[in-house]
Structure 1
Amino acid sequence: MTLVPLLVDVGAALEEATGLLQYALVFLFAAIPVIEILVVVPVAIGLGLNPVATGVVAFAGNVGSVYALIVFSRRIMDWWTGRREDGDGGPSDRYARARRLWDRYGLPGVALGGPVLAGVHVAALVALLAGSRSGAVAVWMTAGIAVWTVLLVLGSVAGFSLLGIV
């Protein structure tokens, strides 16, 4: 079975769009597990979108997709447990990283480190698979996404202003 990766040129899509459509794309891209806030926030700010609006919209998109994952977690977990092993029979790299994070730091560690180490969606699934309550996962993942969104907005603004881009 051949897997075709989802390749999206975030920068080109945001450049081609105008006005509110740009922010709608920021919302959408932030909700996509492979792209998330780590990609869309710096790209959008680098293209000149308002940093505060970009952060708010990206946060909403990322958190919204995590909440949807939590709401449908039972179905997703049934699917996930069937898919989480790679072709060699071992856990996938992303799942293994998230699981090590869980074993060492628990829900707070997964929520705060997950967005950069394994992706926020994988981190939320690991927390749910480990038996955490949905409400606790929602609260901690929201906090983790908020922290990373603020750091990404501030870092992007600072970095681009140092480079004279924005």
Structure 2
Amino acid sequence: MSVTPLFVEIGSLLEEAGGLLQYVLVFVFAAIPIVEILVVVPVAIGLGLDPVVTGVAAFAGNVGSVYVLVAAHQRLSRWWRGRRGGADTVESTGERYARARGLWDRYGLAGLSIGGPVLTGVHIAALVALLAGSPTRAVAGWMTVGIGLWTVVLVAGSVFGFSLLGIV
């Protein structure tokens, strides 16, 4: 699947929809792992949708889907621990493990959350952080920060870029 047909498909669907339905579609497209905010925000703004409302809808859709992923992981982990009798699969208590774990919790999660939306997509970044054992609240919080940052950057960059081109 090429990126160009993806832009065309999303653009044509947004263009054919009218009014509030356009922003609902922005919300839905932002929640889809392949599309996310990186595709839907520039396309929607390029079609003339309100940048602020587009940003809010895209942010809400993307964050909402990440929260669903985090909640599903939390429930699945709880179920798995109950099934295994409460025993954790990794029992590393050494000093080196504790130090590496501390470094991951302090810098790795933040870095992954900020870079994840453009490097791997937020869903994969959140899943990697959860599988690395980061606390679910921290993953949800940092992913919210990363998505918020990239939403602002994408909205501002799209508005600025399209205004330079004279499109919007």
CA distance in 2, matches of 1:62, 1:76: 21
* Match in the other structure for 2:126: 124
* Match in the other structure for 1:84: none
* Match in the other structure for 2:26: 26
What are the equivalent positions in structure 2 for 1:51-130 lying under 5 Å apart?
51-74=51-74, 105-130=107-132
How much does 1:30 deviate?
0.1
CA distance in 2, matches of 1:76, 1:15: 39
- SS of equivalent residue, structure 1 residue 42: helix
**Are the equivalent residues in 2 in contact too, given 1:30–1:40 (CA < 8 A)?**
yes
How much does 1:14 deviate?
0.2
- SS of equivalent residue, structure 1 residue 137: helix
- SS of equivalent residue, structure 2 residue 133: coil
1:151 to 130, 150, 153: 153
**Aligned sequence identity (%):** 71
Aligned residues: 137
Q: Which amino acid aligns with 1:11?
A: G
Q: Which has the higher contact order (CA 8 A, sep 6+)?
A: 2
How much does 1:16 deviate?
0.5
How much does 1:35 deviate?
0.2
2:144 to 139, 142, 150: 142
CA distance in 1, matches of 2:13, 2:122: 23
- SS of equivalent residue, structure 1 residue 72: helix
Structure 2 unmatched runs, 5+: 78-103
**Are the equivalent residues in 1 in contact too, given 2:109–2:142 (CA < 8 A)?**
yes
- SS of equivalent residue, structure 1 residue 14: helix
- Does residue 1:36 correspond to 2:40, yes or no? no
**Are the equivalent residues in 2 in contact too, given 1:69–1:76 (CA < 8 A)?**
no
CA distance in 2, matches of 1:73, 1:25: 26
How much does 1:74 deviate?
4.8
CA distance in 1, matches of 2:28, 2:159: 21
Over the aligned positions, Cα root-mean-square deviation in angstroms equals 2.0
TM score, norm. by length of structure 1:
0.78
**Are the equivalent residues in 2 in contact too, given 1:14–1:44 (CA < 8 A)?**
yes
- Does residue 1:49 correspond to 2:25, yes or no? no
CA distances 1:79-105 after superposition (whole Å, capped 9, x unpaired): xxxxxxxxxxxxxxxxxxxxxxx79x5
